[in-house]
Each structure stands twice: as C-alpha cells, then as structure tokens.
Amino acid sequence: MASVVKVQRPTQSNDSSNSWLIYDESRKRQSTTPEAEISHGSKVMMGADYKAFFLGSWNKKTHSWTITKRVADSKGF
C-alpha cells in the first residue's frame, strides 16, 4: 500500500554516498538511500527542491522505501 513520504536530499554532507532521507509522517519507517540508488525520474521530479513529497511503498525485507510519483506538499507533515 502506498503512503505519502517526505524525501530530503542532502544539502552538505561528509557522507560520500550523499544519502537521501526518506520517511513517513510518523517517522516509524525511515531509511537513508545512497544517491546512486535514487532513480533519474525521481531526481527530475524533485527538481531543485531539497524536500518533496512522493508516494512510496515500504519494503519490509530491505527496510527501505521505493518512491514513485511526486505529490503536492503536505503542510501538516
């Protein structure tokens, strides 16, 4: 089942993988994903924004999010 998730890319980092932070509203399911694993399409949808909201599906086996479609920003998030 898809959920709305917040995606944040790093502004500055000492982490060579430039990990992106992806989490749901409750922050119970949170993952860091190396930039190399973020799809080109997701990066294009993100544009110049450092934070955006996407539909995402949680993978219980890998404890990570798969993001698909960008959605309108959620002020209550």
What percent of the chain is predicted at pLDDT more than 70?
95
Q: How many CA atoms lie within 13 A of 54 on its CB side?
A: 27
Say how many residues make up the chain: 77
Among residues 63, 76, 67, the alpha carbon closest in space to that of 8 is found at 67
Q: Dump pLDDT digits (tens) for 40-73.
A: 999 999 999 999 999 999 999 999 999 999 999 8
Kindly tell me the burial class for residue 45, based on how many C-beta atoms sit within 10 Å of its own C-beta (0-12, 13-18, 19 or more).
middle
pTM above 0.85, yes or no: yes
